Amino acid sequence: MKLTADKMPTFEAELINTLKRHNNNGLFMPFLKTVEGGKRLRPLLMLLINEACGTLVNPLDAAQAIEILHTISLIHDDIIDKEKSRRDDSPFYIKYGRDKAIIAADFAFGLVMELLAKYNEHIMKTVANASTEMSQGELIEVVFMKKRKISLADYIRVIKMKTASLFAATCEIGAALSKREEMGQEMKEFGELLGLIYQIRDDQEDQGKKGELINVLDSAERGKLQDYMITLINNAQNHLQKLDDSDAKTYIEHILALISDVPGPLHLTPK
C-alpha cells in the first residue's frame, strides 16, 4: 500500500472521476464502493514498467481499465465460490443482490471500452485476449472443482489463464506504451510469471478453505510446488534484468520479493 501511495498519487482520483461520469447509473455507487480498498497491484505494475521503460503514452486510463476488469472478476468469483467476505466486508452479491452482481459486468465492460478507446488496436486486443483467457480459466476451474484430484499441470493451466493472463497483459501494456516498445514480450512473460507466483502464494495461504482449487490438487503433486516456485522466481528475476537500472525497476524488484515471500536474494539456486 505504501508503494501505491508513493507511485500512484493520481490513480485513485482518476478512477473515481471515471466512475463519476456515470453517476446516473444505478450501478455507480455499488461499483464505486466495491472498487475501493484494493491493493492496486496490477495498475501499479503497469505504471512502474511504463516508467522503467520510459513513458511515451500516459498509461493511466489503461491502468484503470485493468483494475475495473479485475474488480468485476472478483465480483463473479465471489458468486461462484459463495464467498461470505471480501476485503473485510460483505461481497457485492450479498450487499446488492445477485442480479446486480451479474449485470455489473455490462457496466464494467462499458467502462473498460471507454477507457481503452484512446489507445491503439494492440492495447485493445491485449486486454480483450486477457478477458477471454480469464473467463476460460474460470470455466475450467468450475469443472476441476468437481473432481477428487487434479494434476499439477491442470492446476497451473487454470491459474495461468484465470490470474496470470491479466498480470501478463498489465505488464505488456506498460512496456507497449513506453519508449521501449520492444520490451513488450519480455514484460508480458515477466507478468505471467509474477501472476503465477502471486496465485500460488495466495492459494497456499487459503489451503483448506472451502472452494479453493489447491484443495483438489493431488497431494504428491502439491509437494512439487516449492521447486516450481523457485524456478518461477528465478525466471521472473531474469526477465527484470533486461530493464535498465532505475527507481521504478527497484520498486518492481521489491514487489516481486514481497509477493514471492522469500527473504534475501531472489536467486535461490546457484547461477
Close Cβ partners of 259 (under 8 Å, ≥ 6 residues apart): 194, 197, 198, 201
Q: How confident is the model at residue 198 (pLDDT cuts 50, 70, 90)?
A: very high
Write down the residue that cell numbers 473498460 correspond to: 112
* pLDDT score recorded for residue 212: 86
Q: Which amino acid is at 2?
A: K
Angstrom distance (rounded) from CA 210 to CA 151: 19
Q: How confident is the model at residue 266 (pLDDT cuts 50, 70, 90)?
A: very low
CB of 152 closer than 8 Å to CB of 221? yes
Give the residue extent of every domain in the chain: 2-260
* Per-residue pLDDT reduced to its tens digit, 229-247: 999 999 999 999 999 999 9
Class of domain 2-260: mainly alpha
* Per-residue pLDDT reduced to its tens digit, 61-78: 999 999 999 999 999 988
- Comparing 32-41, 103-112, 247-256, the range with the smallest average pLDDT is 32-41
* pLDDT score recorded for residue 184: 97
Comparing CA positions, the residue from 117, 14, 128, 131 lying closest to residue 71 is 131
Which run of H or of E encompasses 265? none
Comparing CA positions, the residue from 271, 183, 202 lying closest to residue 230 is 271
Mean pLDDT, the chain, whole residue set: 90
Q: How confident is the model at residue 23 (pLDDT cuts 50, 70, 90)?
A: very high
Q: Which residues lie across from 86 on neighbouring strands?
A: 89
DSSP-derived secondary structure for 100-151: HHHHHHHHHHHHHHHHHTTS-HHHHHHHHHHHHHHHHHHHHHHHHTTSS-B-
Backbone angles phi, psi at 86, to 5 degrees: -150, 120
Angstrom distance (rounded) from CA 3 to CA 251: 8
Q: Model-level pTM? A: 0.92
* Per-residue pLDDT reduced to its tens digit, 134-163: 999 999 999 999 998 999 999 999 999 999
* pLDDT score recorded for residue 82: 83
